[in-house]
Amino acid sequence: MDSIQLTATGSTDYELLDSGEEEKLERFGAYILRRPDPQALWNKKLPASDWKKADAWFEREGKQGKWHMKKDMEEEWQITYGGLQFLIRPTSFKHTGLFPEQAPNWDWSHSIILENYRMNPERSVKVLNLFAYTGGATLAAAQAGAEVVHLDASKVAVTWGKQNAEASGLQNAPVRWIVDDAMQFVNRELKRGNMYDAIIMDPPAFGHGPKDELWKIEENFLTFVSSCKKLLSDTPLFFLINGYAAGYSHHAFRYNLESLVSEYGGNVESGELTIEESKAGSPAEALAKEARVLPAGIYARWSN
């Protein structure tokens, strides 16, 4: 039951340039952003002059914060990552709309869905993505041919997800975009008898539904996951749980999925989600160095 670290790497449009002293320096397309990250408890590699070149930097103000942007910087722009298109918008919660650490999970779910269609071309795959935010996992599943229910409590996030789908050429994919409370939606789906072949969730530590419904992971998670398991079809493909700010070990997620092995077979794996830093220096120096990785969350996933 060893943990498996999943590591996202840079691409043409995204790089983790440096990290340290509770900050990270990233490039999203043409722009470099500087924002806080409490996981980066080490020294920075790049000189201060490189960090000062950032086009935008985030300053905390109470529970939220404020971005400072150079005058000629766009407030929104588009990049390619993981074979998908994303609109990048710096928000007051320091997020940008893209979570690069999820790319290995997108590849994993995409490949499972494609394999299903190779083995069972007549079988459609139905995926439920809960706490789905701006839709990276939704787009990866839809790109592989799945029918997806994308649910988030934020209307802004769901609209953003739709825009990412359109940018990725998936505007006509079979995706239902729903603004709702996750727990209430799952309970209604159970009553309706709807079933899914795969479930993805990224529950926050704390949050509110669209009608101010309260979510606390320590109070709601166990019951919620149990309910979600009841939505699985007779021959499910996978169940993926991600987390970032809850402060729990990946074992907490893993142990909730192990019952699926006895019921359906397959296996469970879990561990940290990380992002690899770019290797600074000359090509020879870069080859000689081991790239650092920035912890960016935890995951557990079951597949059959």
Alpha-carbon distance of 256 to 230, in angstroms, equals 13
**For residue 70, how many other CB atoms are within 10 A of its CB?**
10
Asked whether 8 and 19 are in contact (CB, 8 A), the reply is no
C-alpha distances in angstroms, 83 versus 80, 158, 168? 6, 20, 8
Put simply, whether the predicted model's pTM sits higher than 0.75 gets the answer yes
267-276 and 6-8 strand pairing:
parallel
Structure-token pair, residue 174: 């079979």
Please state which of the four CATH numbers 3.40.190.80, 1.10.275.10, 3.40.50.150, 1.10.3720.10 is assigned to the domain occupying 100-303.
3.40.50.150
DSSP 67: E
Three-state DSSP at 140 gives helix
* Nearest-angstrom CA–CA distance, 304 and 299: 17
Measure the CA angle with vertex 93, ends 131 and 136; round to 5°: 40
Alpha helical stretches, state H, 90-181: 103-119, 136-143, 155-167
Provide DSSP, 243-301. ESSS---HHHHHHHHTHHHHHH--EEEEEEEEEEBPPPS-HHHHHHSPPPEEEEEEEEE
Boundaries of every domain in the chain: 6-88, 100-303
Spatial separation of the C-alpha atoms in residues 142 and 85, rounded to whole Å:
13
Angle made by CA atoms 169, 173, 179, in degrees to the nearest 5:
105
pLDDT of residue 285: 46
CA dist list (Å): 136 to 107, 128, 200 = 11, 13, 11
Q: Say whether 100-303 and 6-88 share the same fold.
A: no
Residue 236: its H or E element? none
Q: Return d(Cα 190, Cα 184) in angstroms, integer.
A: 10
Res 208: pLDDT = 82
Can you give the pLDDT of all 304 residues of the chain as single tens digits?
Answer: 679 999 999 999 999 999 999 999 999 999 999 999 999 999 999 999 999 999 999 998 777 799 999 999 999 999 999 999 999 999 998 999 999 999 999 999 999 999 999 999 999 999 999 999 999 999 999 999 999 999 999 999 999 999 999 999 999 999 999 999 999 999 999 999 999 999 999 998 888 888 888 888 888 999 999 999 999 999 999 999 999 866 789 999 999 999 999 999 999 999 999 999 998 654 544 554 679 999 999 999 999 9
Please provide residue 175's backbone torsions phi and psi, each rounded to the nearest 5 degrees.
Answer: -120, 130
Q: According to the model, what pLDDT value does residue 209 have?
A: 85
- Angle, nearest 10°, between helix axes 217-229 and 250-257? 30
| Structure token pair of residue 16 | 């983790």
The per-residue pLDDT for 180 is 97
With beta carbons less than 8 A apart as the criterion, state whether 273 and 296 touch. Answer: yes
Could you say which of 3.20.20.10, 2.60.40.1180, 3.40.50.150, 2.10.260.10 is the CATH number of the domain covering 6-88? 2.60.40.1180
